[in-house]
Amino acid sequence: MDLLLFLVLGAAIGILSGFFGIGGGIILTPLLLILGYTPSTAIVLSLLLTLGSTVTGTFAHLRQNNFHLRDAVTIGVSGIIGSAAITPVVFWMERHSGADTVISTLYIVLLLLFAIQFLKPAKKVVQETPVPHASFYKLVAIGAAAGILSSLMGVSGGFLLTPLLMGWVRFPLKQAIGTSIAAATLIVLGGVTSYFMSGTQAPLALGIALIIGALIGSPLGASFLNLFSSQFVKKSLGSFYAAVAASVFLKTTHYEQLSLLLLALFTTGLIGVFFYQKVIQRQTKDCP
pLDDT digits (tens, 9 = 90+) for 58-94: 887 777 777 788 898 999 999 899 888 887 887 777 7
Domain limits at 52?
Answer: 2-286
| C-beta separation of 163 from 22 below 8 A | no
> pLDDT over 70 for what percent of the chain?
89
In angstroms, the CA 252 to CA 213 distance is: 28
How would you label 100-138 residue by residue, b for 16+ Cβ within 10 Å and e otherwise? bebbbeebbebbbebbebbeeeeeeeeeeeebeebeeeb
Element (H, E) at 19: helix 2-20
Predicted local confidence at residue 171, as pLDDT: 86
What pLDDT does residue 77 have? 93
**Distance (Å, rounded) from C-alpha 153 to C-alpha 145?**
12
Its pTM surpasses 0.75: no
Q: Is the pLDDT of residue 128 over 60?
A: no
Does the structure show a pLDDT above 60 at 8? Answer: yes
Looking at this protein, which amino acid is placed at residue 162? T
pLDDT of residue 122: 64
Per-residue pLDDT tens over the stretch 147-184: 887 777 766 677 778 888 888 888 888 788 888 888 88
pLDDT over threshold 80, residue 272: yes
The pLDDT assigned to 75 comes to: 93
The total of structural domains in the chain comes to 1
Classify burial at 91, counting beta carbons within 10 Å of its beta carbon; exposed 0-12, middle 13-18, buried 19 or more. Answer: middle
Lowest mean pLDDT among 18-27, 34-43, 261-270: 18-27
What's the pLDDT at 169? 86
pLDDT band at 1 (very low <50, low <70, confident <90, very high): low
Residue 104 CA to residue 255 CA, distance in Å, equals: 14
The pLDDT, as a whole number, for residue 140 is 93
What is the sign of the dihedral through the CA atoms of 83, 73, 242 and 244? negative
Rg of the Cα atoms in the chain: 18
Give residue 154's pLDDT. Answer: 66
